């Protein structure tokens, strides 16, 4: 499957490599969703710095279970083990949660292109490619892994060490795609 034909806005070698890695892991699992432990530094190689693993808990909240170094650097802090709501304003959180929840519950892929805005300025322009994951140890865990590529940043008004990075998301494009289990249409 070539995602660049399916998703013309993908246009990024890291995202294409991530898609091929996830699809290869799916093949290893005889067509089933890859396990979280399979996304090892060895399987991800250079992609490991851009990975974000999210967990949807039974209370319907998203928590960042793992955040790569490139994401932490762009966010100006380590966001591993952070509730997703802590880095986004509540209006933006609802849309972001729906996107990731759909990828998890519908077992589909998701692509999003967006800007993170803080203090009325675009701080980060990003693309994200998300796929569902499963846990071998806890089958009730609902996870997805997104590869996030920061395409541009503007920190002309830098954050201080004590400021938390809460921002709004301006969604430019998103779509879901079938990875063998069906896919919903975007709203």
Residue burial 39-67, b: 16+ Cβ < 10 Å; e: rest: beeebbeebbbbbbbbbbeeeeebbbbbb
pTM, two decimals, is: 0.86
How large a percentage of the chain has pLDDT more than 70? 84
What local confidence, expressed as pLDDT, does residue 161 receive?
Answer: 53
**Which one has a higher pLDDT value, 144 or 10?**
144
Is the pLDDT at 42 greater than 90? The verdict is: no
List, for residues 104-119, the tens digit of each pLDDT value.
999 999 999 988 887 6
Q: Where residue 158 falls among pLDDT bands split at 50, 70, 90?
A: low
Tell me how far apart the alpha carbons of residues 101 and 98 are, in angstroms, rounded to a whole number. 5
Is the pLDDT at 186 greater than 90? The verdict is: no
**Which one has a higher pLDDT value, 185 or 39?**
39
Q: Which CATH number fits domain 3-177: 3.30.200.20, 3.40.50.1100, 1.10.357.10, 3.30.450.20?
A: 3.30.450.20
Evaluated on CA atoms 39, 124, 176, 83, the torsion sign reads positive
**Which one has a higher pLDDT value, 39 or 118?**
39
Is the pLDDT at 32 greater than 90? The verdict is: yes
Is the pLDDT at 176 greater than 60? The verdict is: yes
Tell me which of 35-39, 43-47, 139-143, 152-156 is least confident: 152-156
């Amino acid at each position: 499957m070539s995602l660049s034909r399916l998703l013309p806005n993908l246009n990024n070698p890291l995202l294409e490599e991530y898609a091929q890695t996830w699809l290869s892991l799916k093949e290893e699992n005889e067509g089933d969703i890859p396990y979280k432990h399979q996304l090892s530094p060895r399987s991800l190689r250079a992609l490991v710095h851009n990975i974000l693993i999210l967990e949807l808990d039974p209370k319907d909240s998203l928590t960042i279970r793992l955040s790569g170094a490139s994401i932490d650097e762009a966010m100006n802090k380590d966001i591993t083990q952070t509730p997703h709501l802590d880095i986004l304003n509540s209006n933006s959180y609802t849309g972001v949660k729906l996107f990731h929840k759909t990828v998890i519950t519908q077992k589909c892929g998701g692509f999003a292109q967006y800007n993170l805005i803080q203090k009325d300025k675009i701080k980060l322009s990003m693309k994200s490619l998300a796929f569902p994951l499963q846990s071998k140890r806890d089958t009730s865990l609902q996870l997805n892994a997104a590869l996030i590529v920061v395409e541009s940043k503007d920190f002309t008004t830098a954050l201080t060490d004590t400021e938390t990075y809460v921002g709004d998301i301006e969604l430019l494009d998103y779509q879901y795609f079938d990875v063998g289990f069906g896919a919903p249409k975007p709203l």
